[in-house]
């Protein structure tokens, strides 16, 4: 089926504004690596505090690297996407608060066995959250489908194989490192391709 040229151009602009610079991958990857390292170190309750800073970090880096090169365009947000965004933020808050209070309310002896499940849940939830923020809210790229499949496979693998205590951490850590690498390559090629342009 032939795509409407306006829709095609809109899609291209969204791609360019949200993906081409590799910045979301770098930020999300850094967060995942930091989160997993802090979990391996036994500090599992610190990193959720940094979640709200992910979009802020992406925006700050874009102001520094992306917008001076390809300019800034405010993407049209459909009502559906806006609702999805609100739903996502609310569900993150509720899930985070629930996890925090459940874990906090547990007696010290019960914490240890519950910790693995808690950590897996948090790790998977944050992967979904971070990737959703980076990809789903802004467009319907085929990458989203691949990520959704990857995350689904990841969750299923955890449930089926019941890996050891730190296996999940190392998998997510590798996943995060791969993001940083991919994002860095994208950013370097972006910086090489587009020179800085001046305003009027």
Could you list the residues that contact another protein (CB under 8 A)?
Answer: 6, 9-10, 13, 67-77, 194, 197-200
Q: From the CB of 65, what's the least distance to another protein, in Å? A: 13
- In whole angstroms, what is the distance from residue 81 CA to residue 77 CA? 6
CB of 74 to another protein, least distance (A): 4
Considering the complex, state which of residue 6 and residue 159 has its C-beta at the smaller distance from another protein. Answer: 6
**CA R_g for the chain:** 19
CA distance 89 to 99: 15
**Nearest approach, Cβ of residue 154 and another protein (Å):** 35
* 102: CB partners within 8 A, 6+ apart: none
Our measurement of the distance from residue 171's CA atom to the centroid of its chain's CA atoms, rounded to an integer in Å, reads 16
Of 1 and 196, CB closest to another protein: 196
Which residue's CB is nearer to another protein, number 82 or number 117? Answer: 82
Shortest Cβ 103–another protein spacing (Å):
41
**Considering the complex, what minimum distance in angstroms separates the CB of residue 138 from another protein?**
12
Residue 49 Cα distances to 35, 75, 97, 192, 195, angstroms: 10, 28, 12, 34, 36
Q: Alpha helix locations (H) across 106-141?
A: 108-131
- Least Cβ distance, residue 165 to another protein (angstroms): 48
Residue with Cβ nearer another protein (9 or 86): 9
Residue 23, Cβ density class (10 Å: 0-12 exposed, 13-18 middle, ≥19 buried): buried
Q: Report the Cα–Cα distance between both ends of the chain, in Å, rounded.
A: 41
Nearer to another protein, 76 or 104 (CB): 76
Give 130's contacts (C-beta < 8 A, 6+ positions apart). 28, 31, 32, 51, 54
Nearer to another protein, 74 or 108 (CB): 74
**Whether 23 contacts 182, CB under 8 Å:** no
């Amino acid at each position: 089926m032939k795509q409407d040229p306006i829709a095609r151009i809109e899609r291209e602009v969204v791609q360019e504004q949200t993906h081409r610079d590799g910045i979301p991958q770098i930020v999300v990857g850094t967060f995942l690596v930091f989160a997993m390292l802090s979990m391996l170190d036994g500090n599992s309750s610190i990193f959720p505090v940094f979640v709200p800073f992910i979009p802020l970090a992406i925006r700050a880096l874009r102001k520094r690297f992306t917008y001076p090169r390809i300019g800034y365009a405010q993407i049209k947000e459909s009502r559906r996407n806006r609702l999805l965004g609100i739903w996502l933020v609310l569900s993150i808050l509720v899930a985070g608060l629930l996890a925090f209070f459940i874990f906090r309310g547990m007696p010290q002896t019960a914490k240890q066995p519950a910790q693995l499940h808690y950590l897996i849940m948090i790790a998977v939830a944050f992967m979904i959250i971070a990737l959703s923020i980076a990809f789903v809210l802004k467009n319907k790229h085929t990458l989203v489908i691949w990520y959704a499949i990857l995350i689904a496979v990841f969750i299923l693998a955890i449930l089926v194989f019941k890996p050891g205590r730190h296996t999940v951490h190392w998998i997510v850590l590798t996943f995060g490192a791969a993001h940083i690498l991919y994002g860095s390559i994208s950013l370097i090629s972006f910086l090489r391709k587009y020179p800085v342009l001046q305003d009027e």
